[in-house]
Structure 1
């Protein structure tokens, strides 16, 4: 079966679609799977799910004055397929492209009315379900297995060495002797934690200064360094390696959070307006979401831009460094707790 999967969002969406791609690759007879994705994610997807063919696309490729030339080229590059699967809220241009290459376009009951008119099969969309589980409905439909469980896929992990990058060495001025001599039960002298302050929107960000304070607190508590990481400083291979080797991850809702959790790294998410559907769903991975549960949360919907906040981002401002520290210690035992086990 020839299948097109349209998933043109960011890193978080790419991680969320991996269980679906793996299920289709394993379950279909003679599958030929093409994934329409952002250029930065093409290699990531191809390496994570061998046999899948990515086709990179930018938002500009389907619009503007050159659309009349670019779209036919894309149609030719993709080729005819038996079925096209369109992830939620991809935009009308993507669903229209899917219709040009496939007699059967499957999508969800969300997005604009124009998008839904391009669909031949409309799946129900439940906003309270985890995004990876929602996307897995594609595989449940094609494999005729409505009760198929959601399986975690660890992207690229088997092929990466987190210590191939010298980022993890202590910076000049850190007291390496203290944490290496005292040690951390259950971790080596090369142990480190990752803190990521970025997010897709400014409204989702807790604040750089708060994360700096947090890094110092956690380094003192755990006896190994917790490093602030900027996603933009790494290609996805190095970022995946960095997260795979971490003893823990703390950050806002973002692609790196999804990537860390998918690789089994214990995590803590500082949640503001992001819907709970984007909380990592993996029960076998320790994790916790810090969410105040205010009446205005969440103010965002999956796949849609956030509206301006009318409450001065109180959902994030109400979370203190101490709140996050306590959450981390609940997820990742402190050295003295490990020593007592």
Structure 2
């Protein structure tokens, strides 16, 4: 049998994309009552490779926090200057922010560099398995509505997803420790109340603790 369906839910449906895709199989299989949990884990060798990467770049793995400034469209990107401010605040909390970037992220990375912020390490052009291993190692992850945010969530990493125009009901990451912050536009600013301070507070809450020595 052949099943033909929309790849994404109709806007009026407001059903998570994972459930939508499961429902496309309803002619063949009864859909589960809940979206099954998904978990991806690196191998021991991959985790060791992530630890080596951290040491080679002067990053303490115990303080690692991943940031991803990119997304599939400029409207979905939290402003670069706010990411730079967040990075600085994370450093003040004793954490070690690492900004992820790849071939699809040149505009986002250029915007971040243009802020003049220096309180982060760049991790460029890593493979998906390397990104999975770094995510599994990290204290937490902050990103936009993007594929890497979903990857971090299913790695079990405390994940904070920043949503602007997209609908979190449809696109929120699915993970055991994931949270979505939705921006409320203010005065023509689409990211309005989603300030670095608000994001930092939410991140520290899901990550559990800062990297400061007791």
Normalising by structure 2, we get a TM-score of 0.74
1:153 aligns with 2:25: no
Q: Is the 8 A contact 1:193 1:225 kept in 2?
A: yes
Query: How many Å separate the matches in 2 of 1:87 and 1:158?
Result: 35
Q: Is the 8 A contact 1:170 1:225 kept in 2?
A: no
Q: Is the 8 A contact 2:163 2:181 kept in 1?
A: yes
Gap regions ≥5 residues in structure 2: 104-124
Count matched residues: 191
Query: How many Å separate the matches in 2 of 1:214 and 1:266?
Result: 16
In the other structure, the counterpart of 1:162 is 47
Query: How many Å separate the matches in 2 of 1:333 and 1:156?
Result: 21
In the other structure, the counterpart of 2:66 is 194
Go from structure 1 to structure 2 and tell me whether the alpha carbon gap of 1:140 and 1:288 turns closer, same or farther (over 3 Å shift): same
CA deviations over 1:289-322 (Å, ceiling 9, x no partner): 2213459xxxxxxxxxxxxxxx85x231432111
Q: Is the 8 A contact 1:212 1:228 kept in 2?
A: no
Deviation at 1:194, TM superposition (A): 0.4
Q: Is the 8 A contact 1:193 1:246 kept in 2?
A: yes
1:137 aligns with 2:56: no
Q: Is the 8 A contact 1:231 1:239 kept in 2?
A: no
Deviation at 1:141, TM superposition (A): 3.7
Normalising by structure 1, we get a TM-score of 0.49
2:166 is paired with a residue whose SS is coil
1:83 aligns with 2:5: no
- Moved runs in structure 1, 4+ residues, more than 3 A? 84-87, 155-160, 292-295
2:191 is paired with a residue whose SS is helix
After superposition, the CA RMSD in angstroms is 3.1
1:149 is paired with a residue whose SS is coil
| Higher RCO structure, 1 or 2 (CA under 8 Å, sep 6+) | 2
CA deviations over 1:18-59 (Å, ceiling 9, x no partner): xxxxxxxxxxxxxxxxxxxxxxxxxxxxxxxxxxxxxxxxxx
In the other structure, the counterpart of 1:14 is none
1:234 is paired with a residue whose SS is coil
Higher helix share goes to which structure? 1
Query: How many Å separate the matches in 1 of 2:78 and 2:139?
Result: 22
Q: Which has the larger radius of gyration?
A: 1
Q: How does 1:250-265 map to 2 (within 5 A)?
A: 250-265=142-157
CA deviations over 1:72-103 (Å, ceiling 9, x no partner): xxxxxxxxxx32444425xxxxxxxxxxxxxx
